[in-house]
Amino acid sequence: MNIQEFLTIFISAVFIYNVILSRFLGLCSFIAISKETKPALAMSFAVMFVIVMSSIITWFVYRFMLLPFNLTYLRTISFILVIATFVQLVEMVIRKFSPQMYRAFGIYLPLITVNCAVLGVAVLNIDMFFVNGKTVAGSFYYSLFQGICVGLGYTLAMLLMSGIRERLELCNVPKALKDFPLAFIIGGILSLSFMGFSGFKF
């Protein structure tokens, strides 16, 4: 466990393998909620929070429940259940303690359960930081840090996209390309520019 490792995780999760633009996780929300900056930002924070918490919870579930009892094939079922329950719990807590925050976040929370990014990061953590059924040294901190970085990458992509689409509202675009098709094409160009971080190999 050293600084270098953390730096590698940061750069690769935020830029090189950006969760949306290069891994295509959480694409539905990226296209659907990126019309304006404000809701996009609220959604990003909600997603980031859930990703971080779920990478902590799923690490513990995998390390102390699935591994010791040889139940690793139950990974998908147990992770999605844990995530769904956790999101439900968060929704209930927020509704009780901060109605204002609930109004800002509330509608996005149920959507997060089926956001591929959350389950994707949980599965990715397990694939990367557990080798042959054994924990890599410091794997918990790596998982936690990867969760935070993926959340940051998601926020970055959401902000860029919503900023561009806000401007685009004022432009005169071909009728056939309005909304979805254009959003995909912009995403493609953004993703092309993010490819620069990994460098070209010919």
Partner 1 sequence: MKTLIKEFTKGIIRENPTFVLVLGLCPTLAVSVTVANGIGMGIAATFVLLGSSVIVSLIKDFIPGRIRIPCYIVIIATFVTIAEMSMKAYSPVLDRALGIYVPLIVVNCIVLGRAEAFACKNSMASSFFDGLGMGLGFTLALILISGIREFLGSGQLLGHTLIRGFEPIFVFGMPSGALLVIGLLLGFFNFLKNRKT
Of 73, 55, 72, 61, the C-alpha closest to 13 is 55
By the rule CB under 8 A, 7 interacts with partner 1: no
By the rule CB under 8 A, 161 interacts with partner 1: no
By the rule CB under 8 A, 114 interacts with partner 1: yes
By the rule CB under 8 A, 124 interacts with partner 1: yes
Of 139, 17, 50, the C-alpha closest to 8 is 17
Is the CB of 28 or the CB of 137 nearer to partner 1? 28
Question: Which residues ranging from 61 to 80 are in contact with partner 1 (CB under 8 A)?
Answer: 73-77, 80
Is the CB of 98 or the CB of 193 nearer to partner 1? 193
Is the CB of 99 or the CB of 188 nearer to partner 1? 188
**Binding residue (CB under 8 A) for partner 1 from 13, 25, 149, 152:** 25
By the rule CB under 8 A, 57 interacts with partner 1: no
**Binding residue (CB under 8 A) for partner 1 from 120, 136, 163, 166:** 120
We find the least distance from the C-beta atom of residue 157 to partner 1, in angstroms, to be 12
By the rule CB under 8 A, 43 interacts with partner 1: no
Of 38, 51, 174, 29, the C-alpha closest to 121 is 51
Is the CB of 84 or the CB of 148 nearer to partner 1? 84
Binding part of the chain for partner 1, among 26-34, 38-46, 51-59, 155-163 by CB under 8 A, reads 26-34
**CA 120, CA 97: separation in Å to the nearest integer?**
30
What single string gives the DSSP state of each residue in the chain? --HHHHHHHHHIIIIIT-TTTTT-TTHHHHHHT-SSHHHHHHHHHHHHHHHHHHHHHHHHHIIIIITTTT-GGGHHHHHHHHHHHHHHHHHHHHHHH-HHHHHHHGGGHHHHHT-HHHHHHHHHHHHHHEETTEEPTTHHHHHHHHHHHHHHHHHHHHHHHHHHHHHHTTS---GGGTTHHHHHHHHHHHHHHHHTTT----
**Binding residue (CB under 8 A) for partner 1 from 6, 24, 49, 102:** 24
- Which chain residues interact with partner 1 by CB under 8 A? 21-28, 31, 73-77, 80-81, 84-85, 113-116, 119-120, 123-124, 127, 174-178, 180-185, 187-192, 195, 202
